Amino acid sequence: MAFQDFDKIQERVNAERKRKFRKRIILGFVSALVVVAAIIGGAFAYVTYGNKTHEQAKTTNNKTKDTPKKSESPSQKPPSSAAQTVKPGQVDKIIQTLCHSTLYKPVCEKTLKNGTKKDTPLSDPRRLLESAIVAVNEDLDRVFKKVLSLKTENKDDKDAIAQCKLLVDEAKEELGTSAKRINDTEVNNFAKVAPYLDSWLSAVMSYQESCVDGFEEGKLKTEIRKNFNSSQVLTSNSLAMIKSLDGYLTSVPKVKTRHLLESRSLAVQTDHTTSWLSKKERRMLKAVDVKALKPNATVAKDGSGKFTTINDALKAMPAKYQGRYIIYVKHGVYDESVIVDKKKANVTMIGDGSQKTIVTGNKSHAKKIQTFLTATFVAQGEGFMAQSMGFRNTAGPEGHQAVAIRVQSDRSVFLNCRFEGYQDTLHAYTHRQYYKSCVIVGTVDFIFGDAAAIFQNCDIFIRKGSPGQKNTVTAQGRVDKFQTTGFVIHNCTIAPNEDLKPAKAQFKSYLGRPWKKHSRTVVMESTIEDVIDPVGWLRWQETDYAVDTLFYAEYKNDGPSGATASRVKWPGFRVIKKEEAMKYTVGPFLQGEWINGIGSPVKFGLYEA
């Protein structure tokens, strides 16, 4: 009986302990809720207080308005130190500062003043750049309506208008992305997004120029160029303002502010976009065993893979795929036109070797196809990577412009690849591109376009073309001096192809010629064989076009034609020193943090000791 009584007492004790334990849990939970509520309430009070203070100031200055205007939520506009410094009287001064370095200052000031009317009072100077980009977008709509209204029965002109529509759509998409991303970071960290804005707006300028270039010389082309002038002026101003705005925001005293969760999440998003490759992706660049990479899709002509064509493998890629999508393309010659479109980001294609896995085609301008559309392979999706692949156009010298590959993928990488063609082999069209240990073969302008591209440790071979033809390695197409584009040939070898060696005396060859007014090409620490004429560079169609506005530079090249004593005496050509050459190495020239930390195989600095 005693033991029975003890058991009952113990049961009550245990029940009491459980009750107290549950009570402590409940109290702890309630306390946590109170703390969270206090934090949220504090954040809400902070924002409310700021808004209330702002509204009280407005009420004091305007006694006639009894109802305060509803303020913007913190998720739309995170608090920032610069936002607190802008006063109505300062707006005109900020506009003058941002427009000071532009090429079209009166247009810039007018655009920004019109923009402030839509966003009054101005609370953040970034809104000025945003309004400038929106103005470009609106003007492009107006311009293209005029282009569509132009009457023509010529098939080539109709094709050019259709191509122009595609390019304008590309431009408008990147303008929209630019306007949206301006406010993605805190004011004091605007420098993080600036390189992306430079890349996107430089591409917008290229798209507009390509639209005009699609038309044959004549009255219609003159009219088209005239129509696009206004949007190109606005784009130029927007590009110039990026650096001015960055400088202005940097000069504003930094004030410690209380950051809400939303602003913190935006900062995290921006950090994510500025990272380039993960450790796994870096290993991928060094990998020898392709199968160990566990590709998402395997392509094989002999049926040993899941797909027999590259296009089928791309079609099977899931929409909005997260992460890097790896396509292994087994040895074989794939005669197909391939487009990795913008919706397919972070695609990697790996072959069995640049002369074993080859994508080939033969479209050419001689077949009445626009040069832009002759590409055998097109890389548009952001973050495209290719390794041990070959890209070829077999139209021959009689095909004239015939592109093997067109690249407009931002932050794209090509490693151990081969590009073969004659005229216009590699169209490095837009955005930031990096080529390592590649082989590029061609005749006239065979590396052309308006990308920010670095070719590092590549072999560049000039081949035998049509009789009487002059060969040019590059034709860089920078239109505006504020574009952050250009070609850098670094630690490469420029030499005659086997078919040209016995006939190189019959074909004069040059490092490049200025396709556009602000053409920019730098050749440094490279070996230049005697296939290149001692003058180095060629005029555009025997005229003085762009010789005073281009930027052609050389630094510490060697080889039989590496000496610069006999180079052209143009105002735009120079032999640069080490300090300036450093600006055209991988980190500074390709802008931002997207390529930082990759390690091998990238060389970040100069090769000299």
375, 409 contact by CB (below 8 A): no
Specify the pLDDT at position 148: 87
Mean pLDDT of 120-146: 89
For the entire predicted model, the pTM comes to 0.82
pLDDT band, residue 351 (cuts 50/70/90) = very high
Tally Cβ neighbours within 10 Å of residue 605: 11
Specify the pLDDT at position 494: 98
CA distance 54 to 62: 12
pLDDT band, residue 347 (cuts 50/70/90) = very high
Residue 585, SS3 per DSSP: coil
202, 236 contact by CB (below 8 A): no
| Residue predicted with more confidence, 291 or 154 | 154
CA distance 128 to 122: 9
Mean pLDDT in the chain? 83
pLDDT band, residue 75 (cuts 50/70/90) = very low
Could you say which DSSP state residue 175 is in? H
Q: Is the pLDDT of residue 239 over 90?
A: yes
CA distance 182 to 442: 40
141 is catalytic: no
CA distance 485 to 518: 10
Specify the pLDDT at position 89: 72
Specify the pLDDT at position 151: 82
Specify the pLDDT at position 187: 67
User: Catalytic pick from 198, 213, 445, 450?
Assistant: 445
Specify the pLDDT at position 41: 45
pLDDT band, residue 152 (cuts 50/70/90) = confident
Q: Which two structure tokens, joined as six digits, stand for 528?
A: 């230049």
Q: Is the pLDDT of residue 409 over 50?
A: yes
Partners of residue 295 on adjacent β-strands = none
E strands within 399-547? 405-407, 412-415, 418-420, 426-428, 432-436, 439-442, 444-449, 452-456, 459-462, 471-476, 486-490, 493-496, 509-512, 520-524, 527-528
Q: Is the pLDDT of residue 285 over 70?
A: no
Q: Is the pLDDT of residue 462 over 50?
A: yes
Mean pLDDT of 300-322: 96
